[in-house]
Structure 1
Amino acid sequence: MLVPFLIMLREGLEAALIVGIVASYLKQTGRTQWLPAIWSGIGLACLLCLGIGLGLDLISAEFPQKQQEMFEAAVGLIAVGILTSMVFWMKKAGHSVKSQLHGAIDEALRPGARQGAALVGMVFFAVAREGLEAVFFLLAVFQQSSGSGPVIGAAAGLLAAAATGYGLYYGGMRLNLRLFFRITGLFILVVAAGLLSGSVRALHEAGLWNGLQATAFDLSAVLPNDSAIGSVLTGLFGYQDTPSVGEVSAYILFLALSLPLFLSDARRPLIARPRSGT
């Protein structure tokens, strides 16, 4: 439940920041008549993400066991790629998001017959990118979890992101965005390592990967998966009480490569928060 909550909080807040920057700039430049276009773009992006998520979930339910494992592995690998690229994109480009969006708005609203459509499209693609990242991650988590906890966590994270976004731009709320994205970025990389390890396991169960299958360690007598702590660790970090050498190797190698890169050069803030109404 905690992992979907934090992922949706981060993804939702990124989308809220983008929408807030666009809305604030329109207000600052006296173009508030275009604000409805923002909501149109958001609505279309949400419908697209919801449709893709439901479609993928329905398709996977029809697969026989082997194909389900293959699908689970593919979705997990896609989620790892998306989550990793998201973290490093925000680290690299987050400080210039505001200026980039301002330039994109000016370009979209240049005099012409398609001003509204251009602005809708800009907001649509910005929000859809965040939404599709969340869709693939949640699908991977739902496939490796059971019960209603992940759904409740995701919904709570989205509501918390919406409330935080509203507070930032309309309620005078203060948030250290640099610290927030750094902490959640570290957490997401650890989660992605767990998803990668789970994908290696799914590839083996699908019969596509049979190397490094010796048991790395056996903690089933000390910390089994179905224990209280084991269940929490499994849900958070993809813990397994008897992982294979391949699963552990994938987990460690991913973190050994990604964490040093992410922790390097932490000097500049990620996003400059605009002030609404100025």
Structure 2
Amino acid sequence: MLVPFLIMLREGVEAALIVGIVASYLKQTGRGAWMPAVWVGILLAVALSLFVGAGLQMVSAQFPQKAQEFFEALVGFIAVIVLSSMVFWMRKAARSIKSELHTSIDDALGHTSGQGAALVAMVFFAVAREGLESVFFLLAIFQQSANSEAPLGALLGILVSIGLGYGIYAGGVRLNLKRFFYWTGLFILVVAAGILAGSLRHLHEAGVWNSLQTVVFDLSNVLPVSSAFGTLLSGMFGYQDMPTLGEIIAYVAFLAVSLFFFLRPAQRQGAAAASRPTH
């Protein structure tokens, strides 16, 4: 429950920030009459995300066992790519997202015709990106965890993010967004490592991947994955009581590379070059 809650909280806060920035800018520039177009874009993006999620779930249910295992592995790999790109994109774009959205709004409303459609499209693509990211993540989590509390955690995350987003927009909530995205980014990368290892396991069960299947250690008698704590660790970090060599390599290699790039200080070559005296 905690994993889908935290991920949907982060995704929801990102989407709420985008909507809040757009709404504030429209209000500040005397263009509040365009807010209905913003809501149309949001609703279309939510509808697309729900449609894609339901469609993928219905299609996968029709597959035979091995094909379903392969499909779950594919969804897991996509989720890892999407989650990782989301973390690094926000780390890079956090400082400039406000000005970029302001520019996009000015461009959308700067035409003599089709202004409403342009604004709807801008909001739709901005929010749909967050929604589709959430769809692939939730599919991967639901497939790897039989816990019925996962959908409830996702729903709670969305509701809390809506409340935080409104509070930030209204000015009643002060949230250190830099620290929020930093710690949730670290958590997401650990979760993504577990999804990656689980996807490799699905590939093996589908008969596609049969290398590196030596069991590294056996904790089934000490901490079985079916126990309460084992289930919690499995849902949060992809824990397995009998991991194979391939799963361990995938997990450790992904974390080593992703955490190296995430934790290294931001490059300041551009700032240093601008501060050099000219001759």
TM-score scaled to structure 1, two decimals? 0.95
Which residue of 1 is the match for residue 89 of structure 2?
89
Aligned to 2:217: 217
1:170 aligns with 2:170: yes
Partner Cα distance (1:65, 1:96) in 2? 46
Corresponding position of 2:24: 24
Pairwise CA RMSD: 1.1
- SS at structure 1 position matched to 2:188: helix
| Corresponding position of 1:227 | 227
Give 1:171 shift.
4.5
Distance 2:198 2:174 in 1: 37
Per-residue deviation, 1:126: 0.3
% identical equivalent positions: 66
Shift of 1:113: 1.4
Please give the per-residue CA displacement for 1:141-182, whole angstroms capped at 9, x wherever unaligned. 111111421100000000000000011111521000000000
Structure 2 unpaired stretches of 5+: 269-279
Map of 2:130 onto structure 1: 130
For these two proteins, the number of residue pairs brought into alignment is 268
Q: Who is 1:184 aligned against? A: 184
Paired with 2:201 and 2:18, the residues of 1 have a C-alpha distance of: 37
CA distance in 2, matches of 1:111, 1:266: 37
**Secondary structure of 1:118's match?**
helix
- Name the structure 1 match of 2:253: 253
- 1:32-91 CA-to-partner distances (Å, cap 9, x unmatched) read 110111100000000000000000000000111000000000000000000000000111
SS at match of 2:95: helix
Superposed displacement of residue 93, structure 1: 1.2
CA deviations 1:184-212 (Å, max 9, x no partner) are 00000000000000000000000110100
Listed as ranges, the gaps of 5+ residues in structure 1 are 269-278
Following TM superposition, by how much is the alpha carbon of 1:118 offset from its aligned partner in structure 2, in angstroms? Answer: 0.3
1:70 aligned to 2:82? Answer: no
CA shift for structure 1 position 221: 1.1
Distance in 1, matches of 2:201 and 2:111, equals 55
Question: How much has 1:122 moved relative to structure 2?
Answer: 0.2
Which residue matches 1:243? Answer: 243
Alignment TM-score, normalising by the size of structure 2: 0.94
1:51 match:
51
1:156 aligns with 2:160: no
One-letter identity of the residue aligned with 1:9: L
Moved over 4 A (4+): none
Matching residue of 1:275: none
How far apart are the structure 2 equivalents of 1:75 and 1:46?
A: 20
Cα distance in 2 for residues equivalent to 1:230 and 1:266: 37
Secondary structure of 2:73's aligned partner: helix
Q: CA deviation at 1:231?
A: 0.9
Could you tell me which amino acid in structure 2 is paired with residue 229 of structure 1? F
Partner of 2:272 in structure 1?
none
What amino acid maps onto 2:251 in structure 1?
A: Y
Once the two structures are TM-superposed, the CA of residue 100 in structure 1 deviates from its matched residue by 0.4
CA distance in 2, matches of 1:37, 1:50: 20
- The equivalent of 1:276 in structure 2 is none
Q: Is the partner of 2:94 in helix, strand or coil?
A: helix
Q: Secondary structure at the match of 2:110?
A: coil
Q: Which residue of 2 aligns with 1:141?
A: 141
C-alpha spacing 1:143/1:127, structure 2 compared with 1 (3 Å): same
1:201 correspondence with 2:188: no
- Aligned equivalents of 1:135, 1:12: Cα separation in 2: 12
- In the TM superposition, residue 111 of structure 1 has moved relative to its aligned partner by 3.0
Deviation at 1:29, TM superposition (A): 0.6
